[in-house]
Amino acid sequence: MREKIETVLNDIRPHLIADGGNIELVGVSDGTVSVRLTGACHGCPMSQMTLKSGVERAIKAAIPEVKEVVNLGPADSPVTPLQSCCS
């Protein structure tokens, strides 16, 4: 399942990178996919919408066994004030 999720994330990733962000797969357990939004996506007011309406929808469409996608938050991934996906 992890490889399928990575494939979906690779399709989504260019859109996030275009806005100064990125996403990494942290883990999969019992139908829950854990990811980390990084770069400008971390701290962006639209990140929850991106996660649920974009990332989760795409993963669930490709892999019906997935129940939800959760963002674990930053892992020493500071955002500078100049980074912004929404400006």
Q: What Rg do the C-alpha atoms of the chain give, in angstroms?
A: 12
Among the four given CATH numbers 1.10.3720.10, 1.10.3470.10, 3.90.1150.10, 3.30.300.130, the one describing domain 2-71: 3.30.300.130
- pLDDT-derived band at 83 (thresholds 50, 70, 90) equals very low
Structure letter (DSSP) for residue 56: I
Instruction: Write out pLDDT tens, residues 36-80.
Output: 999 888 777 788 888 888 999 999 999 999 999 999 876 554 444
Amino acid identity at 23: I
Mean pLDDT, rounded, for 83-87: 50
The yes-or-no verdict on residue 86 having pLDDT over 80 is no
- pLDDT-derived band at 82 (thresholds 50, 70, 90) equals very low
